[in-house]
């Protein structure tokens, strides 16, 4: 009982650090983002988000799906931590370099008559090279020491916020804002590496055997991640090509505003995931119950926030961003409900790893990606940015609630999520 209580306390403290850090990050991000959007205006703000869409699209390729299985690898093979981290950094570094080159090549063809667009996208892609160090986050996570990761990301964002404010004061061009992404990841990586060494992290090493093991376990997540990227980024890419940069700005602002508080959901998921994985081989009933509890926390927290935001959307957008961004109100009222289902999908990854159901993700997200592209093609011409928001919401709802029941191995998880939504079987037996 004492050990269980101690573990619960460590989980709670870990969650508090995650929430506190991301709360401060959210406040800074919100304030600086607000000032940046007002300064750049819809067109250039949309251009920044167009560049962001490309890096988001290639994120699955850059991470190689390893982020979804690395915590379990640490738990199962604690004696190989240095080899796991070192091999992951090497694999991700190579994939990030190739991804950046591919992005620049694609944009130079699609937007060949827009030199500013190519420059902004290229500068934004530099951040991919430094983003690999967020791998260290998972080493801290499995030890319930997320405060060190929090310190690193906060230090980086405080410096980048000051950098952006300086750009606003000096009235710099959009190119300088595009470079801020790389600056943030560089500083966060440097601080995280220092904390890792300081906390006794094992030396890095690489091996072909470990690379093969990681890629074998994660390859399903690579394909699934690419499919997720299709419906996570296609909307902004299609809005730019079918309409204009301003439409991208309205939609991106709506998405950013609605997900700005998602740090809370991420903290809950990140803090509970290691314990759920441990329970998988110890107590099956406790494992299932903790999954239901996690899904219930995520869904109802998101539902309450979404309702408030949708009611206050007109007042919030015009007051904060100005009349120029009023067209963002309609897509915000739609896409804010996306958050609940999106984070249910994130929370489901823990169950996927424990049940070795990764291969199902390929079919799941292939269907979702095709659905999203079709919905965007139909709805963007009809409703513009609101059409893209509707396509995202319908796709995410289907991915979490509907499609899993069409795939045999995912039906148990679909039932767990429905149990959580209807608050069934989420209390301890003793209660």
Helix H, strand E, coil C: the string for 313-347 is HHHHHHHHHCHHHHHHHHHHHHHCCHHHHHHHHHH
Hey, CA dihedral for 421, 425, 430, 431, is it positive or negative?
positive
Measured between alpha carbons, how far is residue 100 from residues 114, 125, 181, 235, 297 in Å?
18, 6, 14, 20, 37
283-323 pLDDT per residue, tens: 899 999 999 999 999 999 999 999 999 999 999 999 989 89
Check: CB of residue 427 under 8 Å from CB of residue 421.
no
Is-above-0.85 flag for pTM?
Answer: no
**CB under 8 Å to 243, separation ≥6 — which residues?**
380, 384
Extract the tokens encoding 290: 């903790």
Rounded Cα gap, residues 389 and 251, in angstroms: 7
Question: Tell me, what's the pLDDT at 116?
Answer: 93
Rounded Cα gap, residues 20 and 87, in angstroms: 31
Check: CB of residue 52 under 8 Å from CB of residue 193.
no
Q: Which helix (H) or strand (E) holds 137?
A: helix 135-142
Rounded Cα gap, residues 12 and 276, in angstroms: 14
Check: CB of residue 332 under 8 Å from CB of residue 313.
yes
Check: CB of residue 385 under 8 Å from CB of residue 325.
no
Check: CB of residue 254 under 8 Å from CB of residue 239.
no
Distance of CA 84 to the CA centre of its chain: 22
* 322 phi/psi in degrees, rounded to 5: 95, 165
Question: Tell me, what's the pLDDT at 430?
Answer: 47
Rounded Cα gap, residues 431 and 416, in angstroms: 19
**CB under 8 Å to 120, separation ≥6 — which residues?**
47, 48, 50, 51, 174, 175, 178
Extract the tokens encoding 38: 């007002």
Rounded Cα gap, residues 174 and 11, in angstroms: 42
**CB under 8 Å to 302, separation ≥6 — which residues?**
265, 339, 340, 343
Extract the tokens encoding 35: 């000032």
Check: CB of residue 248 under 8 Å from CB of residue 50.
yes
Give the number of other CB atoms < 10 A from CB of residue 322: 14
In 3D, which of 157, 129, 153 has the Cα closest to residue 141?
153
318-330 pLDDT per residue, tens: 998 989 999 999 9
In 3D, which of 127, 267, 110, 252 has the Cα closest to residue 184?
127
Check: CB of residue 299 under 8 Å from CB of residue 307.
no
Which residue stretches of 384-410 are H helix? 385-397
384: left (phi over 0), alpha (psi -120 to 50) or beta: left
* 203 phi/psi in degrees, rounded to 5: -65, 150
Question: Tell me, what's the pLDDT at 188?
Answer: 84
In 3D, which of 74, 86, 82 has the Cα closest to residue 132?
86
pLDDT per residue as tens, the chain (431 positions): 444 555 556 556 666 666 676 677 777 777 888 899 999 999 999 999 899 888 888 876 777 777 767 777 777 777 787 888 888 888 888 988 998 999 999 999 999 889 999 999 999 988 888 888 888 877 777 776 667 777 777 788 888 888 999 999 998 999 999 998 888 888 888 888 888 888 887 888 888 888 888 888 777 677 766 766 776 678 888 999 899 889 999 999 998 888 877 777 887 887 888 889 888 888 899 999 999 999 999 999 999 999 999 999 999 999 989 899 999 999 999 999 998 898 998 899 889 888 988 778 778 878 888 898 999 999 999 999 999 999 999 999 998 999 999 988 899 999 999 999 998 888 765 43
Measured between alpha carbons, how far is residue 207 from residues 78, 81, 84, 213, 222 in Å?
16, 12, 9, 10, 20
In 3D, which of 249, 257, 333, 262 has the Cα closest to residue 298?
262
Rounded Cα gap, residues 22 and 262, in angstroms: 9
In 3D, which of 135, 233, 265 has the Cα closest to residue 189?
135
Domain boundaries, the chain: 2-421
């Amino acid at each position: 009982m004492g050990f269980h209580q101690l573990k619960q306390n460590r989980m709670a403290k870990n969650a508090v650090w995650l929430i506190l850090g991301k709360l401060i990050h959210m406040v800074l991000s919100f304030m600086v983002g607000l000032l940046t959007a007002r300064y750049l205006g819809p067109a250039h703000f949309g251009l920044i988000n167009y560049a962001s869409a490309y890096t988001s699209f290639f994120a699955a390729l850059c991470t190689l799906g390893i982020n979804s299985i690395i915590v379990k690898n640490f738990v199962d093979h604690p004696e190989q931590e240095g080899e796991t981290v070192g091999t992951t950094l090497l694999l991700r570094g190579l994939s990030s370099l190739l991804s950046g080159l591919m992005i620049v090549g694609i944009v130079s063809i699609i937007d060949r008559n827009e030199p500013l667009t190519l420059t902004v996208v290229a500068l934004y892609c530099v951040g991919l090279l430094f983003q690999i160090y967020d791998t260290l986050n998972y080493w801290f996570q499995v030890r319930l020491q997320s405060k060190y990761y929090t310190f690193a990301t906060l230090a980086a964002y405080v410096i980048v916020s000051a950098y952006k404010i300086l750009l606003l004061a000096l009235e710099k061009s959009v190119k300088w804002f595009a470079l801020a992404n790389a600056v943030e990841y560089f500083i966060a990586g440097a601080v995280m590496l220092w904390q890792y060494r300081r906390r006794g992290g094992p030396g890095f090493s690489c091996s072909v055997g470990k690379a093969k093991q990681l890629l074998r376990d994660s390859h399903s997540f690579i394909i699934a991640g690419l499919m997720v990227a299709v419906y996570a980024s296609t909307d902004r890419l299609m809005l730019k090509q079918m309409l204009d940069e301003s439409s991208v700005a309205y939609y991106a602002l709506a998405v950013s505003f609605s997900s700005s508080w998602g740090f809370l959901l991420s903290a809950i998921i990140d803090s509970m995931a290691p314990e759920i994985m441990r329970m998988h081989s110890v107590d099956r009933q406790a494992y299932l119950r903790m999954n239901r509890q996690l899904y219930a926390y995520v869904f109802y927290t998101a539902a309450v926030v979404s309702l408030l935001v949708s009611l206050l959307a007109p007042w919030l957008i015009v007051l904060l961003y100005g009349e120029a961004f009023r067209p963002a109100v309609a897509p915000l009222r739609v896409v804010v409900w996306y958050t609940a289902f999106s984070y249910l999908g994130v929370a489901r990854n823990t169950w996927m790893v424990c049940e070795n159901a990764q291969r199902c993700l390929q079919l799941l997200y292939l269907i979702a990606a095709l659905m999203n592209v079709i919905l965007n093609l139909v709805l963007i011409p009809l409703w513009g940015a609101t059409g893209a928001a509707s396509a995202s919401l319908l796709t995410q709802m289907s991915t979490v609630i509907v499609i899993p029941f069409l795939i045999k191995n995912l039906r148990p998880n679909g039932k767990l999520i429905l149990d959580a939504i209807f608050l069934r079987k989420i209390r301890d037996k003793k209660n």
